[in-house]
Structures are given as C-alpha cells and as structure tokens.
C-alpha cells in the first residue's frame, strides 16, 4: 500500500482523496489548513459549463462533465445531496458583434423571440441567444460529499493542519511537515489552490499559480424569474434550488485579499439588472468573494513536478475547478501505479 499525502481540502484535494481511496489500494491522508471547502471550492457558483466557458465538448471540460453523473450517484450514497442538475444555459447577445461571435461558436442559436419565449424576463433588447446543454451543482455540498465518501473508504482527513514544508532527498519527497508531526509519504499531491506556489518554491519547483479574486452576490427576486442559467460578457446568473439567483463574477488580481468590494458588487448588480431587468428589485441576500488559482495561460497544472517524480501537482483550475475536479482526480490516479 502506497502512503499518499494530499495537501489541500478544496474540491481538487477532496476529489483526489475520494478517487485514490476508492479501491482501498492506498493509504490516503488529506492535510487541510482550515476546514474542507473553506475557500474558493465552497464559495463557487457551481456552474459545470464547458460551452459557455468556451472549453468545448472535446476538451477536458466536456470529458469532466461526462464523469459527473456516475460520481454524483456514488458520493450521494454518503447521505449528502449535491444538487446536481442538467439545464440549459442562454448566452445573450446584446450587440451585433456579440451575436456574430456567439453564432460562430454555437451549434444552436435562438432569435430574440425564441429566447424570450424560453426566458420571458431576459432583457427585451437582446438580439438573440446561443443555447447550451450544461449543468450545475452546489459546490460546498459536493466538497463535503467527496470528503465524507473518502473517509468512508478509509482516507484520513486532518482539518486545522497547515503544511509547513516538504522534505526532499535524492529528488523524492519523503515527508510532509505539519505542526508537531511529520507525515511519511510515498507520493504527495499538491492541491493547495493559489497557495500551491508558495509550498512548491522552497523545493526549487517554479509553479506560477496566482490568486484571482472573484466576487458573487445572491439575489432573492420578488417573483420567480429565471429557470435557466444566463451568461453575458463573462458574467452569469445561476438560478438555485432555493429560489435565489447567484450573480457572478469578477476577475481581479489583488493578491491574497478575499474581501468583496463596493465596485465589484455594484458591477454585478448592474449586470444582473441589465440582463434580467426584474432583478433590479430583488433583495440582496449575500455578498462574498474568494480566490481562484489562476495560471498565466489559463490552463490547469496537473502531473508530476519537474525534478521531483513523486510530487504530483493538481492546481491552477482558475474559473473551472468544480467542473474539472472529476477529471483531475482521474489523471492523478493514473499517475500513481
Ligand atoms: C467567485 C467564484 C466563482 C466560481 N465559480 C465556479 C463555477 O461556477 N464553476 C467552476 O467549475 N469553478 C468555479 N470557480 C472556480 C473554483 O472555485 C476553483 O477553481 C476551485 O475551487 C479550486 O479548487 P482547489 O481545491 O484547487 O482550491 P481551493 O478551493 O482554494 O482549496 C485549496 C485548499 O488548500 C488549503 N491550503 C492552502 N495552503 C495549505 C497548507 N499550507 N496546508 C494545508 N492546506 C492548505 C486551503 O485552506 C484550501 O482549503 C469559482 C471561483 C470563484 C472564486
């Protein structure tokens, strides 16, 4: 049995722990500084959106979405429902240029009348909308279901356990230092989100993952007004099972500051009222922000660290870590014999 230490209890670390403990071939310990899902993974909107995020069907986004139904069926046996559902996304065009771009990239185009028939509250000034089959989930529930399933499969999850460093000898990680202890490991999976670079740097591993702040607002509309996800210019409105609508999101490089701002929230409220005018009278229920792990080229980093063959990197998922978690866990599992 290989001993595997997973650093980070976000959706990526929890998905990896669940996947690696599934066949009970490995001894898995997950080390989380705070509590599982306490950062971006618990804060995310929960869109599983390879098309409207322009990741496409034949790319990792589409492949990861295809893994969801089976994963959901398995982890929900632990008693936590993750609120997975497939649904349509409407990508709105409010200008001729937006219409041109969307028509090029979408197989399915609705003219304004058809789009307004499906979603009568969207802005009457739309020129049309691209329509995609996508899905959503409630991220904090997913993280908890993954973690609980991993524990049931024999994994150990240590919350309140910050990793202080890793010991490397002869180009192999031997142990992971935590307060008052040293965890021996045959393999280490680094899934510490935007904090991953700081843990990799002392080992001589250059990993360019930076925090990208995203803000979100939960709106309670005066009446039910949306049954599909609506996206426009990189922002989205996500109808949730409790009748609220989550409006997101900003993308800001402000270091490790996870606080929402007046400007960020104001921009999201203006977007919401422009796309679906009745949302101008909605109640604001919650405002929050978190830090995505972003890379310069926008692509995740999954695989062995250069020069340290038993250190696996699993980070940099930026806007799509919830979507990409199942595929990332598969890729990590394939890298461990
Ligand atoms: C506003 C917003 C909306 C989003 N919406 C979506 C969406 O709709 N769909 C989607 O697919 N993605 C979405 N994302 C992106 C998604 O949330 C992230 O890509 C994903 O959560 C990253 O997961 P992670 O596990 O890599 O990182 P994190 O969730 O950041 O988890 C990393 C964990 O590592 C822990 N850690 C850090 N340092 C240490 C240490 N030294 N020792 C131990 N533990 C440590 C942290 O405490 C943290 O819990 C959104 C993100 C934001 C901010």
274: number of Cβ within 10 Å: 17
Residues 280 and 319 both lie in one domain: no
Mean pLDDT score of the chain: 95
Residues 247 and 313 both lie in one domain: no
Give the pTM.
Answer: 0.97
Instruction: Give residue-wise pLDDT tens across range 74-91.
Output: 999 999 999 999 999 999
> Which runs of consecutive H residues, i.e. helices, occur in the chain?
11-21, 40-43, 60-75, 96-105, 112-118, 139-152, 196-200, 262-275, 321-335
Average pLDDT of the segment spanning 217-246: 96
Give the residue, 59 or 197, on which the prediction is more confident. 197
Residues 50 and 176 both lie in one domain: yes
Q: Is 248 in the pocket of ligand 1 (CB under 6 A)?
A: yes
Q: Is 191 in the pocket of ligand 1 (CB under 6 A)?
A: yes
DSSP character for 245?
Answer: E
Mutating to test ligand 1, I would choose from 5, 8, 248 the residue with most ligand atoms within 8 A of its C-beta, which is 8
Q: What is the CATH number of the domain that holds 28?
A: 3.50.50.60
Residue 226 CB partners (closer than 8 Å, separation 6+): 119, 121, 237, 239, 245, 276
Residues 75 and 188 both lie in one domain: yes
Instruction: Give residue-wise pLDDT tens across range 298-318.
Output: 999 999 999 999 999 999 999
Q: Which two tokens stand for residue 201?
A: 């740097």
Mutating to test ligand 1, I would choose from 141, 143, 192 the residue with most ligand atoms within 8 A of its C-beta, which is 192
What gap in Å lies between CA 198 and CA 210, rounded to an integer? 10
**Any bridge partners for residue 133, and if so which?**
88
pLDDT score for 24: 86
Q: Is 250 in the pocket of ligand 1 (CB under 6 A)?
A: no
Rounded to the nearest angstrom, the distance between the alpha carbon of 7 and the centre of ligand 1 is 12
Instruction: Kindly indicate the confidence band of residue 12, based on its pLDDT and cuts at 50, 70 and 90.
Output: very high
pLDDT score for 59: 77
Residues 11 and 44 both lie in one domain: yes
For ligand 1, atom 20, the nearest C-alpha belongs to 321
pLDDT score for 160: 98
pLDDT score for 54: 75
pLDDT score for 57: 56
What is the percentage of the chain residues whose pLDDT exceeds 90? 94
pLDDT score for 53: 83
Residues 241 and 284 both lie in one domain: yes
**Any bridge partners for residue 184, and if so which?**
175
Closest Cα partner for 221 from 252, 203, 249, 246? Answer: 246
Residues 122 and 218 both lie in one domain: yes
Residues 167 and 71 both lie in one domain: yes
Rounded to the nearest angstrom, the distance between the alpha carbon of 11 and the centre of ligand 1 is 7
Residues 145 and 199 both lie in one domain: yes
Average pLDDT of the segment spanning 124-149: 96
pLDDT score for 107: 72
For ligand 1, atom 35, the nearest C-alpha belongs to 8
For ligand 1, atom 12, the nearest C-alpha belongs to 320
pLDDT score for 41: 98
Average pLDDT of the segment spanning 185-212: 97
What gap in Å lies between CA 264 and CA 129, rounded to an integer? 26
Instruction: Kindly indicate the confidence band of residue 119, based on its pLDDT and cuts at 50, 70 and 90.
Output: very high
For the chain, report the end-to-end CA distance as a whole number of angstroms: 10
pLDDT score for 1: 85
pLDDT score for 58: 61
Going through the chain in order, the beta strands assigned E by DSSP cover: 2-7, 26-31, 47-48, 85-93, 109-111, 128-136, 156-158, 165-169, 172-178, 181-184, 187-190, 210-220, 229-232, 235-239, 245-248, 283-294, 301-305, 308-315
Domain that holds residue 238: 87-133+210-294
Q: What are the backbone angles phi and psi of residue 167, rounded to the nearest 5°?
A: -95, 125
Residues 204 and 239 both lie in one domain: no
Domain count, the chain: 2
Check pLDDT > 60 for residue 237: yes
Q: Is 7 in the pocket of ligand 1 (CB under 6 A)?
A: yes
Residues 215 and 245 both lie in one domain: yes
pLDDT score for 290: 98
Q: How far is CA 262 from the centre of its chain?
A: 24
Kindly report the length of the chain.
Answer: 337
Instruction: Kindly indicate the confidence band of residue 104, based on its pLDDT and cuts at 50, 70 and 90.
Output: confident
Report yes or no: 325 and 67 within 8 Å, Cβ to Cβ.
no
Q: What is the CATH number of the domain that holds 214?
A: 3.30.9.10
Instruction: Kindly indicate the confidence band of residue 336, based on its pLDDT and cuts at 50, 70 and 90.
Output: very high
């Amino acid at each position: 049995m290989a001993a595997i230490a997973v650093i980070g209890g976000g959706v990526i670390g929890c998905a990896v722990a669940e996947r690696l403990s599934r066949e009970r071939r490995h001894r898995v310990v997950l080390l989380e500084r705070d509590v599982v899902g306490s950062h971006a993974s618990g804060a995310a909107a929960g869109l599983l959106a390879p098309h409207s995020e322009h990741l496409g069907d034949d790319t990792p986004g589409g492949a990861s979405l295809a893994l969801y139904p089976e994963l959901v069926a398995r982890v929900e046996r632990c008693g936590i429902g993750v609120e997975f559902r497939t649904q349509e996304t409407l990508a709105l065009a409010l200008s001729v240029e937006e219409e041109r771009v969307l028509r090029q990239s979408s197989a399915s185009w609705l003219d304004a009348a058809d789009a307004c028939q499906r979603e009568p509250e969207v802005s009457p000034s739309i020129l049309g909308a691209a329509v995609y089959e996508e899905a959503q989930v409630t991220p904090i529930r997913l993280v908890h279901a993954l973690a609980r399933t991993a524990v049931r499969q024999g994994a150990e999850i240590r919350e309140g356990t910050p990793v202080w460093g890793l010991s490397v000898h002869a180009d192999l990680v031997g142990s992971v230092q935590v307060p008052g202890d040293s965890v021996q490991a045959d393999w280490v999976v680094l899934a510490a989100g935007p904090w991953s670079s700081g843990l990799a740097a002392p080992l001589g591993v250059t990993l360019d993952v930076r925090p990208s702040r995203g803000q979100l607002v939960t709106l309670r509309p005066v009446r039910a007004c949306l049954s599909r996800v609506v996206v426009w210019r990189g922002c989205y409105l996500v109808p949730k099972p409790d009748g609220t609508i989550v409006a997101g999101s900003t993308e800001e490089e402000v270091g490790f500051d996870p606080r929402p701002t007046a400007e960020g929230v104001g921009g999201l409220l203006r977007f919401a009222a422009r796309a679906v005018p009745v949302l101008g009278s909605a109640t604001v229920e919650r405002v929050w922000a978190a830090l995505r792990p972003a890379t310069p080229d926008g692509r995740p980093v999954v695989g062995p660290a250069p020069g340290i063959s038993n250190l696996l990197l699993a980070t940099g998922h930026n806007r799509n870590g919830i979507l990409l978690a199942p595929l990332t866990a598969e890729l990590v599992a394939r890298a461990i014999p």
